[in-house]
Amino acid sequence: MGSDFILEIGTEEIPARFMPGALGQMEKMAGEMLAANHLDYKKIKTLATPRRLVLHITDLAALQRDMETKTKGPSKSAAYDGEGKPTRAAQAFAKKHDLSLEQLKLERFGKKEYLVAVQSIPGQKTVELLAKLLPAFIKGLVFPRNMVWEENRAKFARPIRWLLCLFGNAVIEFSYAGLSSGRETRGHRFTNPGPFVIDNPSHYFSCLGEAGVILDQEKRKSTIKEKVMDAAHQLGGEAHLDPELLQEVTFLVENPRAIPCSYPQDYLDLPREVLVTTMQGHQRYFPVEDTKGALRPSFIAVSNNASAPLDIIRRGNEKVLRARLADARFFYDEDAKVSLQARVDGLKNILFQENLGTLYEKTERLQGLAKYLLEKYPVPVDAAVQESTLRAAFLAKADLTTNMVDEFPELQGIMGREYSLKSGETPGTAEAIYEHYLPRFAGDAFPSTIPGIIVALADKIDHLAGCFAVGIRPSGSQDPYALRRQTLGILSILLHHKLSLSFDDLVRQALLLLQGKLNHLGKEEIEKLTREVRQFAWQRLRYLFQEEGIDYDIIEAVLDTPLDNVTLLQERARFLQGSRGNEDLKEAAQAFVRVANLARKATPGLKPSPELLKENEEKQLYAVLVPAGKKARLALEKGDLGTALETLVDLKKPIDLFFDQILVMAEDVQIRDNRLALLNEISVLFRLVADFSKIVF
């Protein structure tokens, strides 16, 4: 019969953004800890408020399961002499494990038998075991940043102030960060601080509820949502409930109170994004909209202090927002006095990266890449769109010199669009300036216009190739230049818009434009870096394909080909995934594996010569290979993967006959090399579709 377990780590307020990761870690680590120590339980749940992290385990066993250990000793031949008597090796092994010779067993491992010592270890009491394990458990929690407080030099997200740890009615006693665990908790900081003495886990939950703490974060989130919506309805509008803000506010309060507030109506002539960013991003307020989605001069603040006078809290929040909006108004009006074009020169004073130069130099490269992409774009682009694209590439970074973006960095691109329209730029140019930052995160919108697509690709390719050229690579979880995100952006845009472009050529062009800045970028270095960038990008492409539900072996089969067009790779992967039950796929794989194993030994660049084909079977194989190659390549050009696969399958019979009758590794070097070259031609043809040897049947 088990009991419930509670560990509460009481702290100063932990940043809201740390909480989801901490909860996930606690659940994972607890499961691993219990499994490793043979402790049975029913369920693990992790809970958190701003100043507490809680691990709740239901029906945790009072004792470890008994364990049996097996230790392999000397082999039977070493343990017993010719008369079957135990040797000194057997006696020493038994003594080492405090067993009699009769208690030792013989077990077979491979072809031999060995002595085995089997010992039963009775399970420890859970209370005693966890007392040893929990300090390391708490220490093992990792946060983006830690604090170290003077008294004990312990590290945690914020200073730990109390530790509650109960197993049923009993305290699990341990020490950490200068504190001893006990049965005291704290209530709501403002309305019912405590401390409170807790009898058992059930009492813990009821006590916190009475002390004004909504412990379950999901219940707290639901409460916030409901109260914010009700408050917005009081104002005659609808709350704009951003999911990320809702998540953040959930971990800022222990018992939410929604407060309807307002601001002067004349601020509504500021761009919507400025108002929303000021409210959401800086003040954690929920904007209020009318039924058509237009902003109203109202917002909802969420307070953690239910005991403070409502009017004082409202006036305080309104005063703070008015000051913020007054600053935004000033920045907006001042910025609008200078055209976006006049700001481009100011980019000469902003460093992009030490070795890659200024943002002005980056702007010059963006224009070069935009011209290249206009030439290579898969569909014809008219003169007006070309003009908008090049103009957007020129102006893309100019808003980084404005007061507004300096104060609100998250508005880059957005303010570029607003200021470009005020400067008289075309809507196409303005939209491309905004879109070139898209997508900014997973699930974000994609650029939708051709100028936006082109400048977005140019910006991200320049960033990726430039960083690789100066030796910047992500390391573990560290990616200060966001290369993974930039790469996902490139790949996602190409896939979303089904753009048939060479990834390698994009990288090469970006590196060529850096030659004037980086003297070491010769032809060989550019090719080396292009391969490295592609290898890095394909790791991200694997992830995108996995998200689609494509099997790992299909992904590997497709990515291990010379093809560098991500749109075609996606089509190839989807086709092969859909062909898993097709016998043709299995036959193509069987044929390829026979060929590929020997084809690796072919002399690079050597083509098969018809004059050196001596036997009928190799002549027949060559005779069908030539037209099959043409047919398969033509089918691939048309995107007809079904015909391409059928053509490869048709080669299986002549390939099998070839291997049945022909000795590939002939004594005559010329004959042997020619046969290997023939097999290599077949291997190259198959690999235009996939590396079939990677597919698992």
**Mean pLDDT on 612-623:** 91
pLDDT of residue 250: 97
Residue 255 has pLDDT above 80, yes or no: yes
Residue 95 has pLDDT above 70, yes or no: yes
Residue 157 has pLDDT above 70, yes or no: yes
Residue 231 zone, left/alpha/beta (φ > 0; ψ -120 to 50; rest):
alpha
CATH of domain 583-694: 1.10.730.10
pLDDT of residue 71: 83
**Mean pLDDT on 676-697:** 91
pLDDT of residue 526: 96
Contact between 57 and 30 under an 8 Å Cβ cutoff? The reply is yes
Q: Which pLDDT band holds residue 97 (cuts at 50, 70, 90)?
A: confident
Which of 53-67, 123-137, 146-160, 375-389 shows the lowest mean pLDDT across its residues?
146-160
Q: What is d(CA 506, CA 510) in angstroms, rounded to the nearest whole number?
A: 6
- Between 523-547 and 483-496, two packed helices, what is the crossing angle to 10 degrees? 70
Q: What is d(CA 457, CA 519) in angstroms, rounded to the nearest whole number?
A: 25
Residue 631 has pLDDT above 90, yes or no: yes
424 by Cβ neighbours in 10 Å (0-12 / 13-18 / 19+) ranks as exposed
pLDDT of residue 82: 77
Tens digit of each residue's pLDDT (9 = 90 or more) over 212-233: 999 999 999 999 999 999 999 9
* Torsion sign (Cα): 234, 240, 241, 246: negative
pLDDT of residue 1: 63
**Mean pLDDT on 453-482:** 93
Q: Which pLDDT band holds residue 514 (cuts at 50, 70, 90)?
A: very high
Contact between 544 and 488 under an 8 Å Cβ cutoff? The reply is yes
| Cα–Cα distance list, 344 to 259, 362, 459, 514 (Å) | 44, 11, 16, 20
Residue 687 has pLDDT above 80, yes or no: yes
pLDDT of residue 502: 96
Q: Which residues contact 13 (CB under 8 A, 6 or more apart)?
A: 50, 51, 158
Instruction: Enumerate the domain spans of the chain.
Output: 3-63+125-210, 70-121, 218-335, 341-547, 583-694
Question: In terms of pLDDT, which residue wins out, 427 or 307?
Answer: 427
pLDDT of residue 86: 84
**Mean pLDDT on 376-391:** 95
| Amino acid letter for position 155 | K
Q: Which residue has the tokens 């904007």?
A: 287
What's the token pair of residue 299? Answer: 């917002």
User: Which pTM value belongs to this model?
Assistant: 0.80
Q: What percent of the chain has pLDDT over 90?
A: 75
pLDDT of residue 63: 86
Average pLDDT, the chain: 92
Centre a 10 Å sphere on the Cβ of residue 256 and count the other Cβ atoms it contains: 22
Of residues 109, 125, 110, the one with CA closest to residue 70 = 109
pLDDT of residue 511: 97
Query: What is the second-level CATH architecture of the domain 341-547?
Result: Orthogonal Bundle (1.10)
Q: Where are the alpha helices (DSSP H) in 377-449?
A: 383-395, 403-407, 414-422, 427-435
Contact between 252 and 83 under an 8 Å Cβ cutoff? The reply is no
Contact between 492 and 544 under an 8 Å Cβ cutoff? The reply is yes
Q: What is d(CA 686, CA 650) in angstroms, rounded to the nearest whole number?
A: 12
Q: What is d(CA 319, CA 326) in angstroms, rounded to the nearest whole number?
A: 11
